[in-house]
């Protein structure tokens, strides 16, 4: 009797798993797909036009912005010292860093 209950339980689990796989496949195939004509059309939705308008207004605000450049004429700015160090050029590594080293033996494993 217990063997029968295990078989029934395994059958139910298998049917549920198959049902989930079928549902996932159906949902994947029937999902709403965006057409690939996005580069061919130039019409913009209301939200896109609003974003473009916001971007343009922000750019115009930046264009109207005037910065005070008297800082760069200040003697304190001119007296600043540059402490940066120049980097010595380094020799590049191997052309293919993933290639095995010469003379090394490797075994390939199948996935």
Give the Cα-Cα-Cα angle 11, 15, 3 (nearest 5 degrees): 5
Spatial neighbors of 44 by CB under 8 A, at least 6 apart, are 52
Phi-psi region at 74: left, alpha or beta (left = phi > 0; alpha = psi -120 to 50): beta
* Residue 85 half-sphere exposure toward CB, CA atoms < 13 A: 3
pTM of the complete model: 0.29
Biggest alpha carbon distance in the chain?
97
User: What are the residue boundaries of the structural domains of the chain, listed by start?
Assistant: 1-30
User: Tens of pLDDT along 63-99?
Assistant: 888 888 888 889 998 899 999 999 899 888 888 888 8
Q: Minimal CA–CA distance to 61: which of 69, 53, 49? A: 53
Q: Which residue has the higher pLDDT, 50 or 11?
A: 11
List of residues 6+ apart from 77 with CB closer than 8 A: 71
């Amino acid at each position: 009797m217990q063997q029968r209950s295990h078989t029934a339980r395994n059958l139910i689990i298998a049917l549920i798993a198959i049902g989930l796989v079928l549902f996932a496949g159906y949902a994947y195939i029937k999902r709403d797909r965006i057409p690939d004509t996005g580069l061919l059309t130039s019409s913009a939705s209301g939200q896109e036009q609003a974003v473009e308008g916001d971007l343009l207004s922000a750019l115009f605000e930046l264009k109207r912005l005037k910065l005070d450049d008297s800082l760069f004429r200040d003697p304190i700015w001119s007296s600043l010292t540059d402490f940066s160090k120049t980097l010595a050029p380094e020799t590049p590594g191997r052309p293919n860093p993933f290639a095995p080293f010469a003379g090394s033996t490797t075994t390939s494993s199948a996935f």
